[in-house]
Amino acid sequence: MKPFYIGAIDIGGTKIAATIANQNGLLTRIIQPTLKTGPLSTVGEQAIALLQSACAQAGIDYSTLHTLGVSACGPFKKIDDMVGLATPNICGSTNNLPNDWTVIPLEKILRDQFSTVIIENDCVAALMAERTFGAVIHETDCVYVTWSTGIGFGLCVDGHILRGKNNNAGHAGHMLMDNQSKAICGCGNIGDVEALISGQLLCQNAASFPTFCEQNPDARLMAQWFGRALYNIVVTLDSRRFVIGGSVWVNNHQWLMPLVEQEIKAHLPVLTDDISIVSASLGKLVADIGALTLVMPPEWIPHWQLSKPWKNLLTQ
Ligand SMILES: [Zn+2]
């Protein structure tokens, strides 16, 4: 049998990662800052160039790579029934970025190169990775949450992953929370969850907000807002487990965990008293492994579940 390879791209507001894998595991991973100048095709072409470099690095003929999974930060907008990126921290038509892009025709650009292309929101991809290889394997009613520069959700109800009309289900970081607040989100909302607690906010206020820790009352309030957002998800979806990742969570989960759980369980116990929270187990690779999971042949999965071929990359 000829060797079979799959590719993955993870597109974020600050970086793009390309990964190549075969049945035995991850062969190579390359990361670059996301390009934000040039024609509308720039990001799609950057993804293709990165995959070409990754193939070269792994000693693989690029022309044999036909299958690509993509995780990307949203929101998405359909163009001719194909996924386009309308991501505010990449597309500059409504902000200060050095381009006038409104919607990047990502799927169209990638389909010119690959016979199989599957694109999902990065939190949906992360949810699929954690349900296949991580902390919530086979869990039917679970939610992936990232708390980093943004707040995002991947939602699974009755074993079905929710997507919505434009594959934008899970943008609940933009749920409105506090109409007394003056905090503005990148989306333009005032007082939504992301405006109140995002990692970007923590960076901007680093001088006046030096320690995001349990002793800091503002940090405790942020933990409460986060818990309240999770409560709103539980009462909407009847979820059982949350699996949480992202840099803010990863660096603070020990003290955040009890506060967030307490906030969820402080309301409507009949719906909330049996929920549990776990930390994501695939760390910084969760979206990359998620993108691979989108296109992975099912017969690879048991071997990967046993051998965990991402372990070495996680500790680098
Ligand atoms: Zn927002």
106-155 pLDDT tens trace: 999 999 999 999 999 999 999 999 999 999 998 999 999 999 988 999 99
What pLDDT does 239 receive? 98
Beta bridge partners of 145: 153, 244
Ligand 1 centroid to Cα of residue 206, in Å, is 21
Please give the Cα distance from 272 to 293 (Å, whole number): 31
User: Is the pLDDT score of 210 beyond 80?
Assistant: no
Residues 96 and 211: their CA atoms lie apart, in Å, by 29
Q: What separation in Å is there between the alpha carbon of 175 and the centre of ligand 1?
A: 7
pLDDT band at 94 (very low <50, low <70, confident <90, very high): confident
User: For residues 36 and 24, what is the distance between their CA atoms, to the nearest angstrom?
Assistant: 35
CA 174 to chain centroid: 15
- Give the Å distance between the CA of 91 and the centre of ligand 1: 15
**pLDDT exceeds cutoff 90 at 7:** yes
Provide the pLDDT confidence category of residue 218 given band limits of 50, 70 and 90. confident
Q: Quote the pLDDT of residue 142.
A: 98
Task: Output the CA 171–ligand 1 centroid distance in Å.
Answer: 9
CA of 191 to the centre of ligand 1 (A): 8
Rounded to the nearest angstrom, the distance between the alpha carbon of 102 and the centre of ligand 1 is 17
Q: Give this prediction's pTM.
A: 0.94
Q: Give residue 60 CA to ligand 1 midpoint distance, Å.
A: 41
- Among 139, 44, 49, smallest CA distance to 83 is for 44
Residue 219 near residue 213 (C-beta atoms within 8 A): yes
CA of 62 to the centre of ligand 1 (A): 39
Of the chain, the percentage scoring pLDDT greater than 70 comes to 95
The alpha carbon of 246 and the centre of ligand 1 are apart by a number of angstroms equal to 17
At 89 the pLDDT is 85
Q: What is the pLDDT of residue 175?
A: 96
Measured in Å, residue 151 CA sits from the centre of ligand 1 at 9
Distance (Å) from CA 22 to ligand 1 centroid: 38
Query: Which pLDDT band, with edges at 50, 70 and 90, does 211 fall under?
Result: low
Quote the ligand 1 centre to 209 CA distance (angstroms): 21
Distance 50 CA to ligand 1 centre (A): 30
How far away, in angstroms, is 159 Cα from ligand 1 center? 28
CA of 28 to the centre of ligand 1 (A): 34
Say how far apart CA 150 and CA 173 lie, in whole Å: 7
pLDDT band at 24 (very low <50, low <70, confident <90, very high): very high
Query: What is the structure's pLDDT at 217?
Result: 86
What is the pLDDT at residue 186? 83
Residue 315 has pLDDT above 80, yes or no: no
Average pLDDT for residues 207-216, to the nearest whole number?
71
